[in-house]
Amino acid sequence: MQSISVLAVLVLAFSCTLALDVTLNQYWKLWKEANNKRYSKAEEDIRRITWESNFEKVKTHNLQADLGVHTYWLGMNKFADLTIHEFIKMMSGYHVSMSVQRNKDRHEFTRNVNVKLPDTVDWRDKGYVTPVKTQGQCTSGWAFSSTGSLEGQHFNATGKLVSLSEQNLVDCSGTHGNMGCIGGEADQAFQYIKYNGGIDTEDSYPYESDDNRCRFNATTVGATVTGFTDIQSKNESALQEAVASIGPISVAIDSSHTSFQLYKQGVYHEPFCSQIHLDHALLAVGYGTDSGKDYWLVKNSWGVSWGEQGYIRMTRNKRNECGIATSASYPLV
């Protein structure tokens, strides 16, 4: 586990005053079993201390949510034994390159001022969205965001929902600026797919949660790209129109908060989110309103045990909260 040495120093520094809560022993045991966690003797107490800290945060937050203070609830998910710094290092990985913005493959989204948008959109109901995937301990959310948007556009064009290979992007798209498990972004992935002549299917090039040598096979291409379209930055109305009229859209957000790490359900609202410091890419698959609270329906790549079966409903129409409309795009097929 990363950053153990740092945590060990902290544990030693506070060892005289810090003690484990024995009343949580059974919960700790059940949580480890449920999340298949195994630790060395040296790591066990370090993880337990972090877990107990997060447990208190979840308990306090949820009591307040039950009283109407918050619009969402937290949970002791598989990330509950990580500090926020460890979590960011392990799970973030969105890096934007300004060079791609000037590329001839880039198009700008053209809005229709006369269009009447539906109140609710969910592209899962139309067959555009593959099941939730899991990126593991590789900061490759950018690859899952890219394949998700392309899977939707390929379905729109062909009527076939094909799961596409994130590992193909992790291993091979460095030629267009992405950095595998270090990070990347959707537009560069779309450029790679165009000039590579396509992207392989998930079945032919399965995910490995690590950087490996490029093994692209032109005989197992699942989809192709002719370019990509960027949506006006920081404009939620433009993003809403794109989601409603185009399909699932690649987006990036600021996910560097314990509230996101431990999100369980409800309409996520984090007032300390940044509009510009984006660190994680996801897929906007719809939007709606719940009890007067506008939200974006967003697919993550952390498995179905996180959030609402792998999804999060993020606050919509609150000044581009968490930067969800700052860097949104989709591929052309």
Q: Does residue 58 form part of some domain?
A: no
Amino acid at 239: L
Question: By mean pLDDT, which of 95-109, 126-140, 229-243 is the weakest?
Answer: 95-109
Q: Does residue 15 form part of some domain?
A: no
Question: By mean pLDDT, which of 98-112, 122-136, 138-152, 217-231 is the weakest?
Answer: 98-112
Dump pLDDT digits (tens) for 139-148. 999 999 999 9
Report the predicted TM-score, pTM, of the whole model to 2 decimal places.
Answer: 0.92
d(Cα 202, Cα 222) in Å, to the nearest integer? 8
Under a CB-based contact definition with an 8 Å cutoff, are residues 94 and 279 in contact? yes
CATH number of the domain that residue 97 is part of: 3.90.70.10
- Percentage, residues of the chain above pLDDT 90: 88
Q: Does residue 208 form part of some domain?
A: yes
d(Cα 245, Cα 117) in Å, to the nearest integer? 8
Whole-number Cα distances in Å, 56 to 52, 59, 141: 6, 5, 29
Domain limits at 204?
A: 86-332
Q: Does residue 206 form part of some domain?
A: yes
What pLDDT band is residue 96 in, cutting at 50, 70 and 90? Answer: low
Q: Does residue 280 form part of some domain?
A: yes
Q: Does residue 188 form part of some domain?
A: yes
Q: Does residue 218 form part of some domain?
A: yes
Question: By mean pLDDT, which of 6-20, 125-139, 148-162, 164-178 is the weakest?
Answer: 6-20
d(Cα 57, Cα 78) in Å, to the nearest integer? 15
Under a CB-based contact definition with an 8 Å cutoff, are residues 95 and 185 in contact? yes
Based on the structure, what is the number of domains in the chain? 1
Q: Does residue 155 form part of some domain?
A: yes
DSSP-assigned letter for residue 201: B
Is the pLDDT assigned to residue 1 strictly greater than 50? no
Across the range 121-129, mean pLDDT stands at 98
Dump pLDDT digits (tens) for 143-165. 999 999 999 999 999 999 999 99
